[in-house]
Amino acid sequence: MDPSNGIALYVQLADLWRYNIVSHKWPGGHRLDNFDLLAAEYKVARITVRQAVARLVQEGLLSTQRGRGTYVLPRAEGSSAEPPRISASSWPERLEIELLFNEPASDVPAEFRGAFEVFSAYREITKLHHLNGVPFAMVRVFVAEPIYRRFPRRAIESQKLLRLTLKHGKRAAEQMHQRMTIELADIVVAQHLHCGIGSPVAKILRQTYGTDRRLSYAGLAWYRGDAFEMDITLPRALVEDSSPALIAPGARGRKSVDKDT
């Protein structure tokens, strides 16, 4: 519990207890101590404990009843409070796309653009990916307008934008650069992914470009940390060439940026 990190104490407490539940440290039926004991144990006010419990009750993880106390709810057969893990390259059959935003854009933000050149116009698209009704990824993408126009009608509602760009971008999408970082969810990401503010999220930047180094696709994806895994097989030559970038991002050279990752 860190009162100086800008995250409300009740949110920190709820995040800690949520982890105890989804990691099975607290199994279904586990009874929490009374609020006074919990407040003393975690060195917080009683109201902080009440707020944290209320948050997890709303999420369907805890139940509190007068005279009985607060319990971890048992999970239904075949279900789990923890969302299924999704690979960054997988495309599950039951995945659903929720389109949040789709409008023309005259420029690409610096965080997406990096050191690359740009087209004169882009299409900005934001969407959520759901599996079994649970959001596990939020994606914000800029696609060069000439390439976007080649996409089949309504294709963005059922297909990955990256795959559409690689298929229809031709020479404008000959290479891809990818960078992953682990960050803490801000209020926007937390609200969309239904996770706690400050929860870990995997953030992936993907950029495709051609020999002219113009961005045909630039996208940021935020994955819930408890629903993400990355499983990649790489040829030895690529591993040997890119290992310095994998070990020390600050040592990444121009050559590694230009290679597929």
- The pLDDT tens digits of the residues spanning 225-240 come to 877 877 777 787 776 6
- The pLDDT tens digits of the residues spanning 146-197 come to 999 999 989 998 888 999 999 999 899 999 999 999 988 887 888 888 877 7
Ramachandran class of 13: left when φ > 0, alpha when ψ lies in -120 to 50, beta otherwise:
alpha
Separation of alpha carbons 16 and 10, rounded Å:
10
- The pLDDT tens digits of the residues spanning 95-128 come to 788 999 999 998 899 999 999 999 999 999 999 9
pLDDT at 137 over 60: yes
Q: Which tokens hold the place of 166?
A: 């690689």
pLDDT for the residue numbered 86: 55
Q: Which residue has the higher pLDDT, 6 or 32?
A: 32
pLDDT at 140 over 90: yes
pLDDT at 3 over 80: no
Sign of CA dihedral 188, 191, 196, 200: negative
Q: Which residue has the higher pLDDT, 59 or 34?
A: 34
Q: Which residue has the higher pLDDT, 142 or 190?
A: 142
pLDDT at 64 over 70: yes
Contact 215, 110 (CB under 8 A): no
pLDDT at 249 over 80: no
Q: Which residues contact 67 (CB under 8 A, 6 or more apart)?
A: none
